[in-house]
Structures are given as C-alpha cells and as structure tokens.
Amino acid sequence: MMTDNPVFCALDTQDTAQASQLANTLSGHIGGLKIGMEFFYAAGVAAYQNIADTGLPIFLDLKLHDIPNTVASAVKALCPLEPAILNVHAAGGLDMMRAASNAAKDTATEKDITPPLMIAVTVLTSLEAKDLDQIGVSATPREQVLRLADLAQQAGMGGVVCSAHEVEALRNQCGADFKLIVPGIRPAGHAADDQKRIMTPEAAMKAGADILVIGRAITQADDPAQAASAIASSLGYA
C-alpha cells in the first residue's frame, strides 16, 4: 500500500539492528523505505521481513538485470515478499522488461497478492555524459533516459527510476500515470557525495517526480525523524 508522503528513505546499511531502529524511528515521518542490494544481500529475507513488519511500503531496489527467463524467475521468487515497488535495469532490453512485468502480474494472480509496481532503472544518477561515452553510449544522459523509458513503457513497466533532471521531459513523454522515482535528492546545503545529477526535494517535486529516494540526508542526521519530517514538511506533507 502506497502513502501520500513521497519520501522513501534508503536503508543502505548491512547492520540489521541499525536498519530496524531507523525503520521504527522513521515510521510516521516518511512514505516508505528503500531496501537495496547492500542490506538484502547481507541480511536476507528474514531481516527484510522484519523491516516490512513496520507496515511501511517497501521499494525493493535490486536492479535485476539478466536474460529474460532468469529475471522473470527472480521476480516470481521476490513477489511473495509483497514489496510495493520492485525494479529491473532498463538496459536489459524490451523482452527482459516485458518478462519481468508479466511475471509480477502472473505471480500476484497465482498467490492472490497485490503485484508490485514494476519500474525500470534508466541511467544511474552517478553517471554523466563522459561516463556513458566510456561504455560506448553516444547519447546524452537525457537522451538515453528518454529512450529507455519509452522501452520500459512499451514493456508494461509502471514507471522508471531517473534523475530529477529528466523528470519534466519524461512526464511530457510518458504521461501522468507513469511513475517517476527519483534518487540523487539532496536538501539544500547537503553534499552531493557520489551522485552527479542531483536536485533538492522541492525542485524535484515541482518538476513532476512521484517518489523521492533520500538516504544520507536522513539516515546520517543527528535526529533522523526530525530530518525526515522537515523534508516532508517542506513538500507540504506535515
């Protein structure tokens, strides 16, 4: 179940106790939690379930990327965890994304559960034009994001992960119902760290983002709950 608050906090840690404490501390101040590879691979399904028991929607950020059959099988294995959002890499191609989308729907029907919102990662927010050029992509980040988002929409994906800098163009291209999940969010005054294409929460929402993924600005704050509340309040979600 999704909430109105668009802020999802990234629990990027291998420390299960820390993650659990943060999840409980932040409950009521955020819209959901993002669990990525670092936590899921280190802690496993039981620890994931412990976090999910907070009742907050979970974005399971595993960025699946393999041949279509393998990704479809992975989606089938993950759907019973009932994440609100599950993602794949759009670079895996149209057939892979379509297989993932179909697997989510089929598994949800079979298990009588709500299917996750299936989304595709376009271009990581740690990449810029020179990084794409190094791997043989001559397009600009914006051009590549728009191209991959079009493929994702054709494949039945419900949205994409993108930087805030592509949100307005994607909204125009993909329509109002296509969900735009945006990492690389930094409140004013916070360091960019390893992100390159960043934006403040207010600017990202104004551009048309649906969900903001925010990690260190919340988790490394002296008072994570207060930091999360301040961001939500700045967006009109007190």
pLDDT of residue 187: 76
pLDDT of residue 184: 81
pLDDT of residue 194: 46
Q: What is the mean pLDDT of residues 164-187?
A: 92
Query: How does DSSP classify residue 46?
Result: H
Taken as a whole, the chain contains a residue count of: 238
Percent of the chain residues past pLDDT 70, beyond the cut: 94
Q: Is 216 marked as a binding-site residue?
A: yes
- Radius of gyration of the chain from its Cα atoms, rounded to whole angstroms: 17
pLDDT of residue 22: 95
Query: 106-121 as b/e, with b when 16 or more CB fall inside 10 Å?
Result: ebbeeeeeebbbbbbb
Whether the pLDDT of residue 103 is over 50: the answer is yes
- Residue located via tokens 């051009």: 143
Positions annotated as catalytic residues are 61, 63, 66
Q: Is 67 marked as a binding-site residue?
A: yes
pLDDT tens digits along 22-35: 999 999 999 999 99
Q: Is 66 marked as a binding-site residue?
A: yes
Q: Is 219 marked as a binding-site residue?
A: no
Which H or E element spans position 58? Answer: strand 58-64
Q: Is 87 marked as a binding-site residue?
A: no
Q: Is 195 marked as a binding-site residue?
A: yes
The mean pLDDT of the chain is: 92
**Least confident piece of the model among 1-5, 225-229, 232-236:** 1-5
Q: What is the mean pLDDT of residues 6-22?
A: 94
Whether the pLDDT of residue 3 is over 80: the answer is no
Coil, strand or helix at 110: helix
Contacts of 123 (CB under 8 A, 6+ apart): 132, 141, 144, 145, 148, 162, 163
pLDDT of residue 32: 97
| 2: Cα separation from own chain's centroid | 13
For residue 184, which amino acid is it?
A: G
H-state helical runs in the chain: 16-26, 37-52, 68-78, 94-111, 129-134, 141-154, 167-174, 201-207, 216-219, 224-234
Q: What is the mean pLDDT of residues 130-142?
A: 94
Question: Per-residue DSSP letters for 144-189?
Answer: HHHHHHHHHHHTT-SEEE--GGGHHHHHHHH-TTSEEEE--B--TT
Whether the pLDDT of residue 82 is over 90: the answer is yes
**1 token code pair:** 């179940």
pLDDT interval class at 196 (50, 70, 90): low
pTM: 0.92
pLDDT of residue 213: 95
Q: What is the mean pLDDT of residues 90-112?
A: 98
Q: Which CATH number fits domain 7-234: 3.40.50.11140, 3.40.50.150, 3.20.20.70, 3.90.1150.10?
A: 3.20.20.70
Angstrom distance (rounded) from CA 155 to CA 119: 10
Contacts of 189 (CB under 8 A, 6+ apart): none
pLDDT of residue 237: 82
Q: Is 171 marked as a binding-site residue?
A: no
pLDDT of residue 192: 46
pLDDT of residue 24: 95
Q: What is the mean pLDDT of residues 45-65?
A: 96
pLDDT of residue 238: 62
Q: Is 69 marked as a binding-site residue?
A: yes
pLDDT interval class at 125 (50, 70, 90): confident
